[in-house]
Amino acid sequence: MKRNVVIVALLALTLSCAGACGKKDAADTKVSQSAPVNSADLVGTWKGTGDEISTLTLGSDGSYKDDAGDLYMVGTYKVDSSAGTLTVNESEYGMVFTYSVELSGNDLTLQLDGGLPRTFTKK
Structural domain boundaries in the chain: 31-122
Q: Say how far apart CA 49 and CA 92 lie, in whole Å.
A: 26
User: One-letter amino acid identity for 101?
Assistant: V
Per-residue model confidence as pLDDT tens digits over 18-48: 333 344 444 444 444 456 899 999 999 999 9
User: One-letter amino acid identity for 35?
Assistant: A
Which architecture does CATH list for 31-122? Beta Barrel (2.40)
107: left (phi > 0), else alpha (psi -120 to 50), else beta? beta
pTM of whole model > 0.75?
no
> Given the DSSP bridges, would you call strands 55-58 and 85-90 parallel, antiparallel or unpaired?
unpaired
pLDDT of the chain, 123 residues: tens digit per residue: 433 333 333 223 332 333 333 444 444 444 444 568 999 999 999 999 999 999 999 999 999 999 999 999 999 999 999 999 999 999 999 999 999 999 999 999 999 998 999 999 999
Classify 5 as helix, strand or coil. Answer: helix
